[in-house]
Structure 1
């Protein structure tokens, strides 16, 4: 059996970031980024496979999840995309990693894409579930197709104070329902859900989640300190590093998939469709790990062994 992951923390300017680390500290670095409503356990099968292939695998709890904590009470509990992407680069700094492969799904895919779009010099390669996962805030102001709006019921609920109260009171039941709806045909394991759901008890979980969905609907102001980054993201910057993009063929949140995002990727790019729902690292861990290993082969020794001084 592979050795268990090592739990640790790293301090950035804003956060005490809790993370799991697999493999040797001298391995090629890869960050695996989870989404909402998931946690680091989404990569329980992916991370050991990468560590066996020589990786230093870091799996952090995002802001508002698990043991990760804000350092100051007066820091805005922002869930906006520039905050999530900035957290990734701040963690690389805290860990002394110059460049890493980033891989994620849901909020984790968003975090990885934003970090890559804004700080490409820090990213050796990218694995992104759901293609070019940078939120177009202007487009979000307008309705999607009715069938997709139906699937996005939770985002509409979160625009209201009733929704905030509901998330606070019923977070486990609400999040479990999302797991079921987003992964049709996948046999949900109650023990796995309960292990992940412990991360939703973070004291900032509700505030971060509510702000994330209100900001992306242009219904809440962002952190003023991130305005310049959001302005750059509004310009839809290209992804300029080698990338594998993934879609789950049974994901109701991504009807039709994201193959049409190809023009957003200007370096080597491959798109794959996997027989899975939204929680792809849980449902198809071998496929997710293979995507990371493909990017690693593409970038070779430029994959991030160097450290910041």
Structure 2
């Protein structure tokens, strides 16, 4: 795999991204969700946060050597925070100190294909299917001798948190999930939507082609920045904030994992047989029984289900909150206090 380009050298596509994000592509977001329990936030910062993770640790877990940030007391209640695409652990860089101040032990791993997380064997399939990512986190918990944790996630991380809560509920004390219930169903994925809805998934169709794979590999940073702008149209992040996260995409397996993830969802790529039983269980779209809070931003420009479509999937103690103030898809980084408050609240359920 060719090395990824340095992001500062291709300003022409970044300028195009700004224009697209400000015009018709920014209009693909769904209507704001019902405000069951609003929690107002100040408008997103335009400056890089001063917070940072003190160090990145590494541990062998399952098929991976996992890179992860860990903050807080070693004997504190554990909170596992999971990032999505195209983001990284800095999604939670401002959430973490809030939780640490309350005595939590916070662990934020790089998912497979991101940052310093790598495969232990060159022979392992670079598999991005949903159950594989969830199994990675269970392996990480085993490696760190964590019996049970509060799990929180956004985007891929929310889907992974959902799956862990479904398949291994005994390992989950409670959950915070941005955009609700996100378990992928490949049969439903083959049902055509109306054209305006299909437009929202343009990048998945692009990734289904070899041109798309080559394009993502060549323009990884530019592509990611475009997604940030579309998914969070009111988040005025600066270049330093983006560049800090974009470094995680230099992982040699990143493109392979991303492309396989989206092709697998559309039924265009096979998973591994060892996950077949897990996927069969997930195909039934099971209920989530652990205490849960779902969150949604009022300016989420990415495809996301309305809260009313998934509320009944949560049968334990449950609450939904719509976070106002121009909050987009990367909610924990755009509204860190609201996310941290939800973790603390769900821990009390």
Question: With structure 2 as the length reference, what TM-score do the two structures score?
Answer: 0.83
| Counterpart in the other structure of 1:60 | 109
C-alpha spacing 1:145/1:283, structure 2 compared with 1 (3 Å): farther
* 1:289 counterpart = 2:340: yes
1:113-124 equivalence runs, <5 A = 113-124=162-173
User: Cα distance, 1:223 vs. partner?
Assistant: 0.9
* 1:263 counterpart = 2:290: no
C-alpha spacing 1:145/1:129, structure 2 compared with 1 (3 Å): farther
* 1:190 counterpart = 2:246: no
Report if the CA contact (8 A) 2:51-2:93 is conserved: no
* 1:37 counterpart = 2:103: no
Find the partner of 1:73 among 122, 135, 140.
122
Report if the CA contact (8 A) 1:168-1:206 is conserved: yes
Partners of 1:239 and 1:123 in 2: CA distance: 11
Report if the CA contact (8 A) 2:200-2:303 is conserved: no
C-alpha spacing 1:192/1:94, structure 2 compared with 1 (3 Å): same
Structure 2, gaps ≥5 residues long: 1-49
User: Cα distance, 1:10 vs. partner?
Assistant: 1.5
1:137-216 equivalence runs, <5 A = 137-216=186-265
User: Cα distance, 1:143 vs. partner?
Assistant: 2.3
C-alpha spacing 1:190/1:3, structure 2 compared with 1 (3 Å): closer
C-alpha spacing 1:3/1:63, structure 2 compared with 1 (3 Å): closer
User: Cα distance, 1:257 vs. partner?
Assistant: 2.5
1:106-147 Cα deviation digits (max 9, x unpaired)? 000011111111110111000001111111111111223323
User: Cα distance, 1:180 vs. partner?
Assistant: 0.3
The list of structure 1 runs, each at least 4 consecutive aligned residues, that deviate by more than 4 angstroms after superposition, is 1-4
What is the RMSD computed on CA atoms of the aligned residues? Answer: 1.4
Question: With structure 1 as the length reference, what TM-score do the two structures score?
Answer: 0.93
Report if the CA contact (8 A) 1:8-1:20 is conserved: yes
Q: What secondary structure does 1:272 align onto?
A: strand
Which moved further from structure 2: 143-152 or 62-71?
Answer: 143-152
Structure 1, gaps ≥5 residues long: 299-309
Find the partner of 2:328 among 257, 273, 277.
277
C-alpha spacing 1:4/1:110, structure 2 compared with 1 (3 Å): closer
| Counterpart in the other structure of 1:49 | 98
Higher relative contact order (CA 8 A, sep 6+): 2
Partners of 1:183 and 1:41 in 2: CA distance: 16
C-alpha spacing 1:283/1:230, structure 2 compared with 1 (3 Å): same
Which moved further from structure 2: 289-298 or 137-146?
Answer: 137-146
Q: What secondary structure does 2:306 align onto?
A: coil
Partners of 1:3 and 1:66 in 2: CA distance: 15
Q: What secondary structure does 2:177 align onto?
A: strand
Partners of 1:200 and 1:295 in 2: CA distance: 32
User: Cα distance, 1:4 vs. partner?
Assistant: 4.9
Q: Which is greater in Rg?
A: 2
Which moved further from structure 2: 117-126 or 148-157?
Answer: 148-157
| Counterpart in the other structure of 2:16 | none
User: Cα distance, 1:15 vs. partner?
Assistant: 0.2
